[in-house]
Amino acid sequence: MSCRRVRQSLALALHIQLLCAVAVTPLAGAATAAEPALVVRLFLDLQDPPSREAWLLYRRALAPFAAGARLHIHHLPLARHPHARSAAVAAHVARAEGQEEAFIDALLRHPVPDGPAIGRAAGKVAIDRDRLTRTLAAGPGSTEAAAVETGRRAAIAFGVRAAPSALINGRGVAGVPPAAALKVALSRAHAACLQARSGATGGRIDCEMEG
């Protein structure tokens, strides 16, 4: 199988299997275009320092693309980080209230995303604290915990084994890339998608699948 076909299969599988475990986030001020020219899937462990660095890096790098970009947040809590799963579950609670990005921003102001930090971050973005408490107390039995586990297993099954990682229009990027290199990668992916669409009938090409 060609590398392009592998990328297409990975992107499609992630899109289908992670549908219930992903936040689809048009960037601030962006129009909600059905098929953006730049799709980034960012895999994070919220207790992992490199993941925290990657979150800020990708947010800054994507901002100039506005309506042409979409960020998908995937949580990949690693077993070696005892607070990562609870942080991911709390992020899913925030997602249901449309506050996931703001919650992550608030949580990352604390060095460790433990229970008190999660509570303080939730308070900063006006998440329903009672719901959050019930969800965390339910442990693996909550809908949000199940979504985190579904997303984790799907990501690992398709080769995303470390956080932070990203897929930029279907192409993998591991770790925290240099800011300049990321800017180039995003610009090239965006330009390649627009060029491909300009030559397609109706301009309807899913650039995440095309890679």
- 104-162 pLDDT, tens per residue? 999 999 999 998 999 999 999 988 889 999 999 999 999 999 999 998 888 888 788 88
204 neighbors 184 (Cβ within 8 angstroms): no
For the chain, list the strands marked E by DSSP: 23-26, 38-44, 69-75, 165-168, 171-174
Q: How much is the pLDDT for 53?
A: 96
Distance, in Å, from the CA atom of 82 to the CA atom of 141, rounded to the nearest integer, reads 18
More confident site: 78 or 4:
78
In the chain, count H helices and then E strands: 9, 5
Q: What pLDDT, in 10s, does the model give residues 2-51? A: 444 444 444 444 443 443 344 545 444 333 445 789 999 999 999 999 99
Centre a 10 Å sphere on the Cβ of residue 71 and count the other Cβ atoms it contains.
22
